[in-house]
């Protein structure tokens, strides 16, 4: 399947939250560890749900450039009130909890899948997470990136085209030589619109055990993989 | 010596050309391999000598933001004429030779020194080299960076303060928690002026075997190291 790609991509750019790491399980665990007596899974989902609207405020100019760390904190401050635990989390506790997004665990296949893919391809991130967050996460989890790239470098959040084309500019390659690897259709569609290759990796439990995720192939993507080990096999690694 | 630092740095930011990798020896080798019958060492020195004036043209606004790859190419095109070999290097050959800067070899102590330092510190680059160049170099040589940062991210070449302060912003740390590791006094002085810690690593052969380099400690730097293994020892790694 992968062998039919012409030109064959030289750079694989990975979405991170949900595609490479399990944000739901990691955030649920960290929230539960605070012993606040709230539904930690619901809190994780609500925190993540605040992310798109927060980025939209940057995109529409209501906020100047703002890192995800700061957006996560704005959402957190609102959420602790909504969940009725604002009085139980002081500034120090909120700062510590906000850094939970720096400590997300990889999906079980991720490290070995990336390790195999890295032998043949240049591997980079293309995440809306900020550089410091991604570096902390990679160091803790041992994610073997060749280069950590972020919306922070391009000052544009995905799915703005500047993010995808920014990766191509960094590596001095044509869009067709870059393949985005992601679990999210809006991300994949935006990369395709820029002329990039796309690989859809399904993550049926991205939103936890109870919320069903679409795992069917969709037309338009070059590859459809069940995980990163399957992607490595399809790409001959 | 390092134990007296308060606050103790959490991030080590490395200059790369000359400090971590041997640009002179690597470029000399690549130029010699083209069999042009010119003094490859003199060519390497002239190429490097064109670098500061080229960055100055970006800094003073004569050129818009321009990556080092493009600056290296502008210098190369002028140099091949000066050395009388322009007619022997076509576009393909010039492109290939320009990428010699992506293939610089580390100094013999660098990989092991970085490997030790990485256990205790967040290691990043702070280089005027562009991101793609630094990623190619790290992948080829096995340089174990936690994060590759470049003037390209901050759109300011060192020694502009925006480069040093940009690293602190990425990691959300105070300048005193960042230590610049470099072989060049102008770089170290600019980092100190931003409130950062500094470690001077001497590289007596940076400009090849015949040009003497200042290797004496200078006041103001927090540490003075003979190589990266010595730096690791001084920092308790």
Residue B136 has pLDDT above 90, yes or no: yes
Place of tokens 């003073």: B60
What's the rounded Cα separation, in Å, for the pair B182 and B15? Answer: 5
What the block records as the tokens of A218 is 């969709």
According to the model, what pLDDT value does residue B6 have? 87
User: What pLDDT does residue B213 have?
Assistant: 86
Q: Which two tokens stand for residue A209?
A: 């055990």
What's the pLDDT score for residue A212? 86
Interchain contact, A69 vs B132, CB within 8 Å:
no
Tell me: pLDDT of B172 over 90. yes
Task: Tell me which chain B residues have a C-beta less than 8 angstroms from the C-beta of A136.
Answer: 122
B36-62 pLDDT tens trace? 999 999 999 999 999 999 999 999 999
* Mean pLDDT for all residues in chain B: 96
Q: Which whole number is the average pLDDT over A65-93?
A: 97
Confidence of residue B2 (pLDDT cuts 50, 70, 90): low
To the nearest whole Å, the CA of A67 is away from the closest chain B CA by 9
Residue A2 confidence (pLDDT) above 60: no
**What pLDDT was estimated at residue A3?**
54
**What is the ipTM metric for this complex?**
0.96
Evaluate whether B36 touches B88 at the Cβ level (below 8 Å): yes
pLDDT band at B3 (very low <50, low <70, confident <90, very high): low
From the candidates A10, A124, A148, A173, which should be mutated to test the interface with B, based on the most B CB atoms within 10 A?
A148
To the nearest whole angstrom, how far is the Cα of B185 from the nearest Cα of chain A? 27
pLDDT over 90 at A213, yes or no: no
What does the pLDDT average to over A157-171? Answer: 98
Report residue B4's pLDDT band, with 50, 70 and 90 as the boundaries: confident
- Sign of torsion, CA A223 A227 A230 A235? positive
**3-state secondary structure labels for all residues of chain A:** CHHHCCCCCCEEEECCECCCEEHHHHHHHHHHHCCCCCCHHHHHHHHHHCHHHHHHHHHCCCCCCCCHHHHHHHHHHHHHHHCCCHHHCCHHHHHHHHHHHHCCEECCCHHHHHHHHHCCCEEEEEECCCHHHHHHHHHHHCCCCCEEEEHHHHCCCCCCHHHHHHHHHHHCCCHHHEEEEECCHHHHHHHHHCCCEEEEECCCCCCCCCCCCCCCCCCCCCEEECCHHHHHHHCCC
- From the list A136, A152, A172, the residue facing B132 with the nearest CB is A172
Domains of chain B, first to last: 2-20+107-234 (3.40.50.1000), 24-102 (1.10.150.240)
Residues of B in contact with A172 (CB under 8 A): 69, 132
Give pLDDT, residue B64: 95
The tens digit of pLDDT for each residue in A81-102 reads 999 999 999 999 999 999 999 9
Do B117 and B231 meet the contact criterion of CB atoms below 8 Å apart? yes
* Residue B161: both structure tokens together: 């303060």
Q: Say yes or no to pLDDT of A113 above 60.
A: yes
Tell me how far apart the alpha carbons of residues B99 and B133 are, in angstroms, rounded to a whole number: 8
* Tokens describing residue A95: 């700062």
Look at residue B212 in the predicted model and tell me its pLDDT.
86
CA angle B169, B104, A124 (to 5 degrees): 50
Please, which pLDDT band fits residue B7 given cuts at 50, 70 and 90? confident
Pseudo-torsion of CA B18, B23, B28, B33, nearest 10°? Answer: 160
Enumerate residues 6+ apart whose C-beta is below 8 A from B80: B86, B88, B89, B94
Calculate mean pLDDT across residues B86-115.
97
Mean pLDDT of chain A: 96
* Residue A59 confidence class, pLDDT cut points 50, 70, 90: very high
Cis-peptide, bond into residue B213, ω within 30° of zero: no
Burial track A72-81 (b if 16+ CB lie within 10 A, e otherwise): bbebbeebbe
pLDDT digits (tens, 9 = 90+) for B191-208: 999 999 999 999 999 999
């Amino acid at each position: 399947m992968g062998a039919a790609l012409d030109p064959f991509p030289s750079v694989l750019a990975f979405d991170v939250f949900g595609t490479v790491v399990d944000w739901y399980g990691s955030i649920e665990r960290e929230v539960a560890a605070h012993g606040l007596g709230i539904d930690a899974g619901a809190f994780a989902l609500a925190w993540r749900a605040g992310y798109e609207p927060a980025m939209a405020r940057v995109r529409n100019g209501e906020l100047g450039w703002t890192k995800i760390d700061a957006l996560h904190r704005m959402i957190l401050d609102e959420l602790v009130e909504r969940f009725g635990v604002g009085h139980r989390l002081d500034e120090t506790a909120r700062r510590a909890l906000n850094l939970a997004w720096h400590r997300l665990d990889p999906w079980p296949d991720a490290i070995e899948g990336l390790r195999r893919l890295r032998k043949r391809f240049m591997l980079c991130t293309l995440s809306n997470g900020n550089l410091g967050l991604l570096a902390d996460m990679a160091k803790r989890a041992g994610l073997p990136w060749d280069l950590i790239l972020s919306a922070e470098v391009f000052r544009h959040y995905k799915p703005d085209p500047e993010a995808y084309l920014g990766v191509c500019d960094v590596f001095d390659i044509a869009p067709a030589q870059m393949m985005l690897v992601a679990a999210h259709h809006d991300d994949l569609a935006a990369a395709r619109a820029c002329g990039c290759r796309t690989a859809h990796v399904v993550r049926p439990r991205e939103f936890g055990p109870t919320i069903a995720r679409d795992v069917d192939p969709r037309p338009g993507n070059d590859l459809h993989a069940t995980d990163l080990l399957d992607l490595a096999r399809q790409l001959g690694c």
